[in-house]
Every structure is written in structure tokens, then in C-alpha cells.
Structure 1
Amino acid sequence: MLLYLHGFRSSPQSFKSRLVQERMRAWGVEKSFACPTLNVSPAQAIAQAEAAIRGARAGGETDIAIIGSSLGGFYARWLAERHGCRAVLLNPAIHPWTDLEKYLGEQSLYHGGGSVVVERSHLQELLDLRVEQITKPARYYLLAATGDEVLDYREMVQACPGANIRIIEGSDHGISEFEDYVDDVLAFCGYGPGGKLPASASRPDLA
């Protein structure tokens, strides 16, 4: 299964999520794609992701990979450490418990209208999910844009020592040129034009 975790105020309708799904559909492996609409509560968002992973494993999926964007990247790091799976981090949040301080209260959503309410308790939930140091760096692939107008790419790099790192010169927080990188991202996750790649192809050593 490939689990995509969207960012704060985003949704499965984000262009990166849709691009990943469309590519997997073209390769005949769309059934392996999952992208839940994450709750504003970090604890509940993690519970949703955990439920998706449990469901996949109950269905016989043993090979799990996660793509996380922004806040979803923060969640992906925690889940990768917990489950020992591969994770692609797209301009990930590193310390969102401080980043989201200025967003306390009602916040509009980017897709489909509506809003969410960010509560102070959510900041503690984020703090509870912090990863002090990644283990087995080979299972991580970081895409960090120097032009990110929301987060500092240098903090992302510092948080992923030894990982597979691709620094994108310029760009922006949303990685507007993500189409240029999606095939590489999916290869790291174990997928290619032929569908599921053999275990020996484009896979990090997770031992």
C-alpha cells in the first residue's frame, strides 16, 4: 500500500495527491493508493493513518510506503519509525507544535470550502509525536525546496541525517514542479510504469 498524507488545511484533492493517484492509475496499481482526509487533531489523524495501515496488512499487504507533505511529512516520519516502512517527505514540517501556534482558532480549508478549528491541545498532540532522531536513514527520501516560503529547508535537511535527500533549488512550499519528481518518488516507494517493482529495484536497504 502507498499511503499519502496531505498537509495542514489540505485534502486528498491536493494536486500532489491527485498526481500520485493518477500515475498509479495509469500503471494499474491505483488499488494500492490510500489518502484519508486527515482530522485537524493530530492524534486523530495518526489514528486514521494507523487504521489504513492495519487495514492494508489485514488484506495481505506487507509492503507499506508513505508519502507525507508538509504536516503530513511530520506524521510520515513518526509512522515510518513506528512501522519500519519507507517514507517520502515533501517539504515536511519539523516542529509544527510551534509553527501552528499562529493558526490557533478557525482556519479555512484549501479545497471544497469549510473550515477547521485548531486548538491549543493540538499543539501538545504534535509535541507528543516528535521524532528526536530518525533510525535507518536509508528508508527516507526527502525532497526539500530552497524556495519554500513557509518552512526552512535547512531544518528539514538537518532533521534527516543520512537520508536520501534531493534539494530542489527554488520552487515553493507546494513543490509546483512535482510532476518532474513524481516518478522518482514512486520508484522509491516501489512502483513504476510496470506497476509494482521487484524488491531489488529502486529499494532502500531496510535491514
Structure 2
Amino acid sequence: MQSPRDSMITLNYLHGFNSAALETDTKVGELATRFGVHRINYDSFAPRASIIESIAAQSVEGDTTAFIGTSLGGYFAAVMGQRLACPAILVNPSCDPHWALAHYRGMTLENYKLPDQPPQTLTSAVVDSYRDTALSTDPADYPVPPLLVLDTGDELLDARATHKRYASLGAALVFEGGSHRFEHMPEALDGIEAYLSRSARSAS
């Protein structure tokens, strides 16, 4: 757990595609001012089932835990929330990775956060492992409704379209401007904490 103080809630933090969850990350540090943060690193070039297995093996579970992820990590936060019936916070999520990752099919990419690691190639088999696995828009498919957290200035994914498509899942935190990296975490902390408190009350 990486937090400067004890916290009632521990967030399992999931990075996006071709990224990493580092202790020095700005968003990790901002979340750690309010919550415990358990960073999970997984191989985002692996097939979907392998990633789920890796995340499950690394996750902290319990009555006071939740998942939070950005981009592809937001997708997997929702998946783990469904599987473990716990809160999930989806930050600028890739709700349909089969579509989103198709743009990188066959590309060999360096990870700017891990410059010492060799570049990796996103294979067609990995992209196809996400076929027909887009996040559901039906609230009944989520034991605990997830929370959408969006920057409208996301240059990679259409935040307004995501908000409209998934409005049936409940309240969302939407911030004007920003980017795909999400630049409003300090402003989102109160809303995230309120969401976690509501989820805890509903479960009790």
C-alpha cells in the first residue's frame, strides 16, 4: 500500500494501455492524499483473460477496497468491480477495448514510463480477445454501480459520447477541458469519496 497515512478505503489502481502505475505518478500521489493506493501493474499487451488473472492475483480485497483505473485500466476496474461486487471508478475509460485497441493493431510501441523495457507489439490475437466484451450499459449487470470520471478534453476517447451512452449507470463526474491523461484528480477527490461512502452505505 502506498499512502502517507492510514485510510478507511484502499483503491486498487490500474494503469492504461502501454503505461505503468508508478509511485511517482501525479494521479497516484493525488489519490494517496485521501485514500490508500495499491498500485497494480499488468502487461497491457497480453490477452484480456490473462490480464484479468494478473489483476486478480495482485488485488487487495475486502469490505473497504475498490478499483480505480484510467483508460484501459478503467475498463478493467469495471470488470473487477463486477466480478468482486465492489465499487469501481472509471477515469476516461476505454469502454470497448476491441474498438479502441484496433487503432494500435500490429504496432510496436515503447513505454515512455518504462524506457528500459524493450518495445512491445500489439498482436491481432490480443485485440480480438476483447471482441464482444464492451462494458454493459445495463445497471443490472453491476452489483455495485460504477462511477464515471471524465475530462471532456480527452483527445483519444469521446468523453461526451461515453457519458451519454453510460448515463443509465448513475451519476458521473464530468470536468470541462483536461485530456486523456485526466487532469482534474484534485477536483474529483470529494466526488470519489462521496461515491465510495454511498456504496458502503448501500452494502450495509
Which TM-score band (shorter chain)? 0.7 to 0.9
TM-score, with structure 2 as normaliser: 0.78
> 1:36 deviation in Å?
1.5
* Percent of paired sites with the same residue: 24
- Name 1:107's counterpart in structure 2: 109
d(CA) in 2 for partners of 1:204 and 1:110?
A: 40
Kindly indicate whether the alpha-carbon contact (under 8 Å) linking 2:151 and 2:177 is maintained by their aligned counterparts in 1: yes
> 1:204 deviation in Å?
5.9
Kindly indicate whether the alpha-carbon contact (under 8 Å) linking 1:134 and 1:160 is maintained by their aligned counterparts in 2: no
C-alpha distance after superposition, 1:38-89 (max 9, x if no partner)? 1121322211221133xx34xxx33331101111111111121222110111
Mark the CA change 1:128 to 1:116 in structure 2 (over 3 Å): closer, same or farther: farther
d(CA) in 2 for partners of 1:6 and 1:160?
A: 24
Match of 2:202 among 166, 184, 205: 205
**Counterparts of 1:171-182 in structure 2 under 5 Å?**
171-182=178-189
2:170 equivalent to 1:163: yes
Mark the CA change 1:79 to 1:128 in structure 2 (over 3 Å): closer, same or farther: farther
Mark the CA change 1:134 to 1:4 in structure 2 (over 3 Å): closer, same or farther: farther
> 1:160 deviation in Å?
4.3
> 1:184 deviation in Å?
3.2
2:69 equivalent to 1:68: yes
Q: Which residue identity does 2:179 align to in structure 1?
A: D
TM-score, with structure 1 as normaliser: 0.77
Compute the RMSD of aligned alpha carbons: 2.5
Q: Which runs of 5+ in 2 are unaligned?
A: 1-9
**Counterparts of 1:1-207 in structure 2 under 5 Å?**
1-13=10-22, 14-21=25-32, 23-24=33-34, 30=36, 33-40=37-44, 41=46, 42-53=48-59, 56-57=60-61, 61-104=62-105, 105-113=107-115, 114=117, 115-127=119-131, 129-135=133-139, 139-157=145-163, 158-189=165-196, 203=200, 205-206=202-203
